[in-house]
Amino acid sequence: MTTAGSSARQTGALAALLRGEEVPWRKLANTADDLVLACEQEDLTALVYRTLDSSRTCHDWPSTARDAIARTARHDAVREELRRREIATVLGTLARDRIYPILFKGAALAYSVYETPSARPRSDTDLLVRREDVEAVRRVMRGLGYAATPYCDGELLFCQFEMAKTDNFGVDHAFDIHWKISTQALFADMLDYETVTRESVHLPAVAPEARAAGLVHALLLACVHPAMHHRNEERLIWLYDVHLLASQLSSSELERFTALALDKRVAAVCRHQLDLARWRFQTVIPERVLHALSTPPWLERSAEYLPRDRRWHHELLSSMRALPRWRDRAQLAREVLLPNSRYMLAAYGVGAGRRSVALLPALYVHRALYGTWKILRGWK
């Protein structure tokens, strides 16, 4: 069993390896399976493989470990090519309906700042679309064989929906379609479709129609993402995103990034991620940038997302406070407490039908009571 202490040492060893340092085998893993598992948990398999392939360090690593990493990396590369083709199909089909999504987060970074796309694993493909295109996107995706996953929905609660399918090769494809960049009200309007589109960049390696968020916006999103959606969890792959993006920005682009972070009142959150990237990967950040981002946390409401002990109810309260009108707060509360019946039946594994609909009141009561219990026990 991996303890917290050994996990922290392993994370540090993986970061050192990606920095190009020699990491003795005993500091990283006991068996080849341990190494593969550690890399998969951090989504670093392809990065570690490329590091080993181009480095003369790590002399004492057993061949079984190197071979295991190589096999997994090759498998990931094949799966990535299948996913790229699927992204191209989706974007091409949407373009015929004059819908032009913007790729952002993992898939966008895989094809813009990573040497090889398979080095940036992700569970889904994030697309940003206009709100008025949402229903057309649903229709197109259904035509391509996609089905909606059982998500809560709502204008304020999620601002996104997921469509998924499994192809003939058994590879899962999931698209997370956003009309706002965050489910958290405080960050939801930080960047909109029009703003991101104006600075978007072509990704010809994906498809002729593919466009991704520009580097300045991508770095802002990479810095804010762990805090706004993952309770400030530290993951090496997310920090490596920040490292690569910050390293590729020119001096003037870093100044624009700094001004944007200050304007959107997320400077403290961005400074936190940049500091972690410097610690883990020795990312070079000009002192003037770090100084400018050194905003006292109490001056920015977004800084309340930095503590790691936050729970679901903290997120909800933060979103409630961020909404400007009581009408919006009431709508958010309704979307949380009374999700649509389609979601409720799917979540409880109940098929559609008149008898199922009759169960809905009991399901809503159970959901409210069980949700309250989880909050009180600190499980939610």
Write down the pLDDT at residue 1: 41
Write down the pLDDT at residue 131: 94
Please write the tens of the pLDDT for every residue from 338-354: 777 777 777 777 766 66
3-state secondary structure string, the chain?
Answer: CCCHHHHHHHHHHHHHHHCCCCCCHHHCCCCHHHHHHHHHHHCCHHHHHHHHHHCCCCCCCCHHHHHHHHHHHHHHHHHHHHHHHHHHHHHHHHHHCCCCCEEECHHHHHCCCCCCHHHCCCCCEEEECCHHHHHHHHHHHHHCCCEECCCCCCCCCCCEEEEEEECCCCCEEEEEEECCCCCCHHHHCCCCHHHHHHCCEECCCCCCCCEECCHHHHHHHHHHHHHHHCCCCCCHHHHHHHHHHHHHCCHHHHHHHHHHHHHCCCHHHHHHHHHHHHHHHCCCCCHHHHHHCCCCHHHCHHHHHCCCCCCHHHHHHHHHHHCCCHHHHHHHHHHHHCCCHHHHHHHCCCCCCHHHHHHHHHHHHHHHHHHHHHHHHCCC
**Residue 1 burial (CB count, 10 A):** 3
Write down the pLDDT at residue 152: 52
Q: What percent of the chain has pLDDT over 70?
A: 87
Please write the tens of the pLDDT for every residue from 135-168: 999 999 999 999 988 765 665 556 888 999 999 9
CATH 3.30.460 fits 80-213, yes or no: yes
C-alpha 309/C-alpha 311 separation (Å) is: 7
pLDDT band of 217, cuts 50, 70, 90: very high
Cβ within 8 Å of residue 90, ≥6 positions away? 125, 140, 141, 144, 175
pLDDT at 218 over 60: yes
C-alpha 171/C-alpha 168 separation (Å) is: 7
Please write the tens of the pLDDT for every residue from 45-72: 999 988 887 666 666 788 888 888 899 9
Residue 122 has which token pair?
């992700």
Please write the tens of the pLDDT for every residue from 91-147: 999 999 999 999 999 999 999 999 999 999 999 999 999 999 999 999 999 999 999
Q: What is the pTM of this model?
A: 0.87
Determine whether 67 is exposed, middle or buried from the number of CB atoms within 10 Å of its CB (0-12, 13-18, 19+): exposed
CA angle centred on 103, ends 215 and 284, rounded to 5°? 25
The answer to whether the CB of 215 falls within 8 A of the CB of 262 is: no
**Residue 126 burial (CB count, 10 A):** 22
The answer to whether the CB of 273 falls within 8 A of the CB of 242 is: yes
pLDDT band of 2, cuts 50, 70, 90: very low
Residue 130: which of 153, 100, 158 has the closest Cα? Answer: 100
pLDDT band of 230, cuts 50, 70, 90: confident
C-alpha 313/C-alpha 311 separation (Å) is: 6
pLDDT band of 3, cuts 50, 70, 90: very low
**Residue 84 burial (CB count, 10 A):** 21
pLDDT band of 284, cuts 50, 70, 90: very high
Pairing verdict, β 125-128 and 102-104: antiparallel
Dihedral class, residue 87 (left if φ above 0, else alpha if ψ from -120 to 50, else beta):
alpha
C-alpha 63/C-alpha 143 separation (Å) is: 47
Cβ within 8 Å of residue 184, ≥6 positions away? 228, 229, 305, 315, 318, 319, 322
